[in-house]
Amino acid sequence: MKNQQGFTLIELVVVIIILGILATVAAPKFLNLQGDARVSSLAGMKGAIQSANALVYSKASLAGVEKSALNTDLDIGTGEVLFTAYGYVLATNSDLENVLDVEFNHATSSTDPTITHDNNAEWTIYADGNGDAYIWQRGAPATCKLTYKQAKSTTELPSYQITTDSTKC
């Protein structure tokens, strides 16, 4: 009689159960990669605005307008006039597009990234006209955003706030 070797039904069931447990534990870590990528993209956009603001402030200082509440004639070499407040970029669609050399889609409101004007861009913006701009990556949920608040005085400098919780992205 030949001695056959193979797996018993019990061994196969145990392996399937172990694989199921591993998938249940490991899957959430891998399923939220998109949220992590969006958080990283927001951090990159935040860094781009901060760097641009540092350069604009340097240019405003050289021009002697870094203490002006509103400056309309700062030339940063893009061919378009840049509006600044206290030497920093205003939180408007056109000024952020100018300084970042990027085009934005336009959103519905500060809490709704639904696109009202589609420029086929990767980023969506809503500027509220009160010195705040909200920026989302295209397709991101409303909770996954960058908030840029322009400078309000020589002591109240621009602020940048991003969503760091990848489960909200």
Domain count across the chain: 1
pLDDT tens for residues 84-96? Answer: 999 999 999 999 9
Residue 24 lies in a domain: no
Residue 6 lies in a domain: no
| First vs last C-alpha separation in the chain | 63
Lookup: tokens for 10: 């019990």
Per the prediction, the chain carries an average pLDDT of 90
Q: Partners of 146 in the beta sheet?
A: 135, 162
The structure tokens 């701009």 sit at: 133
Residue 9 lies in a domain: no
Residue 50 lies in a domain: yes
Residue 98 lies in a domain: yes
Residue 8 lies in a domain: no
How many CB atoms sit inside 10 A of residue 98's CB?
21
Residue 22 lies in a domain: no
pLDDT tens for residues 55-86? Answer: 999 999 998 989 999 887 788 888 888 999 99
State the residue range of the domain holding 92: 33-168
pLDDT tens for residues 20-54? Answer: 888 788 776 666 788 889 999 999 999 999 999 99
Tell whether the model's pLDDT for residue 154 goes beyond 70.
Answer: yes
Residue 42 lies in a domain: yes
